[in-house]
C-alpha cells in the first residue's frame, strides 16, 4: 500500500499491509515537487517489482500509471471514482489544468496492459469520446461496493411520533449540494415538521471548493442543521436515520454514502446527475431532483417525511437494489476479473 503520510498508514499496517509513504500533496503545482513524487514512485516500483499496480483517483492514476509504464510493470489498473475538480469545475484553475491532465492520462493509460475502471456510464462515455481512454480497455464496475451484512436495515422499532432524522454525509464541498441542503432545511423547519437535519463530514482543506468550518459552525448556531463531523461508524449512524440526502452536482462516480444508505434500507433523495442516478430509480427507492434546486429538494423531503409507508416501500426497494447491484462481493469478483485479463496466472486464485 502506497500513499501520502498520515494517520491511515498505521491503520493499514494494523490490517496486515506493508505501507510505504510517498511525498504527495493534492494541491501541489510545483513542477520540482511533482517530478520528485514521480521519481519516488518509480523507485518504489523498481524496488518492489509489483506484478500489478492498482491506482485510485485521477492524480494517482496519472503519476502511478506513468511510473509503472516507465518501470515496465506487467499490469496497470487505474480506478477513477468520478471526474473530480479538474473535469467538473468551471474555475480557471480547472480549465487550465484540464488539457494537461487529459494528455497525461492518455499516456498513463495507453499501454496494452493497462485497464481503466470507471463507476458509471457517463464517465465512460466522456473519457472515450474525449480520446483519453481506449474503449477496449475500459471496464465498468458500479461503485466500490458495500458490505450488505454490516450495512443492513435497523431492527429497532421506531416510535411513530419520533423526531425524524435526515442525513447528508459527504466531504463538505459546495458541489455536494451543501448550500441547497441548508436552504431546504430552512424550508422544512418553517413547515414545523418534527425533523432534525444532520450533516456528516468535515471540510476538505485540500480542495479549493471546500465549505469553511466557520460556516458550518454558523449553521449550527442558527439551529438550521446539526453537524456531526467525521463519522467512523456509518453503519451505526444509519440505523438512526430515516432519509438520506445527497443534492450533489459534483461529477460523482457512484457515491458510497448512497449505496450504504440503500443497503441500510433508507429512502434516498439525490440529484439526477451521473453516478447519483445509478443508485436511485425515481419514485422507486427514492426521488431524483434537479441540481441546485432547494425547492425541489424540500418538496421531495416533505413527500417522504409525511408518508411513512412510502418511505418504508422505498427503503425496501433500495435494499434489494444494493443486494443485487452493489454488494462488495460482486465488486471484488469483477475487480479480480480485471487482474485476470492482465495476468492469466490470476486465474489460479480462488474467488
Q: For 32-55, how does the pLDDT look when each residue is reduced to its tens digit (9 = 90+)?
A: 999 999 999 999 999 999 999 999
Compute CA distances 245 → 50, 280, 305, 325, 330, whole Å.
41, 11, 12, 20, 25
Q: Answer yes or no: do 6 and 138 share one domain.
A: yes
Q: Is residue 81 situated within a structural domain?
A: yes
Q: Which residues of the chain register pLDDT less than 50?
A: 350-351
CA-to-CA dists, residue 242 to 81, 104, 161, 195, 280, angstroms: 27, 44, 13, 10, 16
Instruction: Give me the residue label for grid cell 518501470.
Output: 71
Q: Domain of residue 187: give its range.
A: 164-326
Is residue 247 within 8 A of residue 272, CB to CB? The reply is: no
Question: Can you give the pLDDT at residue 38?
Answer: 96
What is the model's pLDDT at position 91? 80
Q: Per the domain annotation, does 301 fall within a domain?
A: yes
- Please state, in angstroms and as integers, the Cα–Cα distance from residue 310 to each residue in 21, 121, 269, 283, 300, following that order: 49, 30, 13, 10, 12
Residue 128 lies in a domain: yes
Are 199 and 316 found together in one domain?
yes
Residues 245 and 332 in one domain: no
Give residue 170's pLDDT.
Answer: 96
Residue 157 placed within a domain = no
Q: Give Cα separations from 193 to 9, 181, 219, 339 (angstroms).
A: 44, 16, 18, 51
The reply to whether 223 and 343 lie within a common domain is no
CATH number for the domain including 54? 3.40.50.2000
Strand (E) or helix (H) holding 66:
helix 58-71
177 and 313 both lie in a single domain: yes
Q: Is there a single domain that holds both residue 94 and residue 177? A: no
Position 152 in a domain:
no
Q: How far is Cα 235 from Cα 243, in angstroms, rounded to an integer? A: 14
The secondary structure element, H or E, covering residue 200 is strand 195-200
Distance separating alpha carbons of residues 23 and 177, to the nearest angstrom: 32
Assigned domain for 153 exists = no
Q: Is residue 150 part of a domain?
A: no
27, 90, 131 from 96: Cα distances, Å: 14, 10, 18
How many domains, in total, are found in the chain?
2
User: What are the pLDDT digits (tens) for 147-193?
Assistant: 999 999 998 888 878 899 999 999 999 999 999 999 999 999 999 99
| Residue 156 included in any domain | no
Answer whether 271's CB lies under 8 Å from 249's CB: yes
The answer on 332 and 313 residing in a single domain is: no
99 and 169 fall within a common domain: no
Question: Of the candidates 51, 46, 56, which has an alpha carbon nearest to the alpha carbon of residue 2?
Answer: 56
Contacts of 167 (CB under 8 A, 6+ apart): 198, 199, 200, 237, 238, 241, 243, 244, 245, 261
What is the pTM assigned to this prediction? 0.89
Amino acid at each position: 500500500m502506497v500513499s501520502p503520510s498520515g494517520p491511515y498508514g498505521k491503520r493499514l499496517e494494523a490490517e496486515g499491509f506493508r505501507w510505504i509513504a510517498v511525498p504527495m500533496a493534492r494541491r501541489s503545482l510545483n513542477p520540482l515537487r511533482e517530478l520528485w513524487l514521480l521519481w519516488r514512485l518509480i523507485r518504489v516500483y523498481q524496488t518492489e517489482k509489483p506484478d500489478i499496480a492498482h491506482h485510485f483517483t485521477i492524480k494517482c492514476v496519472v503519476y502511478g500509471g506513468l511510473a509503472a509504464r516507465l518501470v515496465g510493470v506487467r499490469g496497470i489498473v487505474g480506478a477513477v471514482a468520478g471526474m473530480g475538480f479538474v473535469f467538473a469545475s468551471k474555475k480557471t484553475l480547472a480549465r487550465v489544468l484540464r488539457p494537461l491532465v487529459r494528455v497525461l492520462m492518455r499516456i498513463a493509460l495507453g499501454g496494452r496492459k493497462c485497464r481503466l475502471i470507471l463507476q458509471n456510464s457517463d464517465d465512460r462515455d466522456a473519457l472515450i469520446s474525449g480520446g483519453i481512454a481506449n474503449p477496449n480497455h475500459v471496464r465498468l464496475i458500479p461503485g466500490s461496493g458495500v458490505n450488505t451484512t454490516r450495512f443492513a436495515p435497523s431492527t429497532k422499532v421506531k416510535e411513530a411520533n419520533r423526531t425524524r432524522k435526515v442525513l447528508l454525509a459527504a466531504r463538505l464541498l459546495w458541489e455536494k449540494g451543501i448550500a441547497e441542503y441548508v436552504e431546504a432545511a430552512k424550508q422544512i423547519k418553517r413547515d414545523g415538521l418534527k425533523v432534525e437535519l444532520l450533516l456528516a463530514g468535515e471540510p476538505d482543506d485540500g480542495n479549493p471548493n471546500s465549505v469553511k468550518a466557520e460556516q458550518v459552525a454558523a449553521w449550527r448556531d442558527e439551529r438550521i442543521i446539526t453537524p456531526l463531523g467525521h463519522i467512523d461508524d456509518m453503519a451505526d449512524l444509519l440505523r438512526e436515520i430515516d432519509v438520506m440526502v445527497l443534492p450533489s452536482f459534483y461529477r460523482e462516480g457512484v457515491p458510497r454514502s448512497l449505496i450504504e444508505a440503500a443497503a441500510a434500507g433508507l429512502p434516498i433523495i439525490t440529484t439526477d446527475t451521473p453516478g447519483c442516478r445509478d443508485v436511485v430509480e425515481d419514485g422507486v427507492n427514492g426521488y431524483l431532483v434537479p441540481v441546485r434546486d432547494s425547492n425541489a429538494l424540500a418538496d421531495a423531503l416533505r413527500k417522504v417525511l409525511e408518508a411513512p409507508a412510502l418511505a418504508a416501500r422505498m427503503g425496501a426497494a433500495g435494499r434489494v437494489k444494493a443486494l443485487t447491484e452493489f454488494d462488495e462481493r460482486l465488486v471484488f469478483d469483477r475487480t479480480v476479473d480485471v487482474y485476470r485479463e492482465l495476468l492469466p496466472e490470476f486465474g489460479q486464485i480462488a474467488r
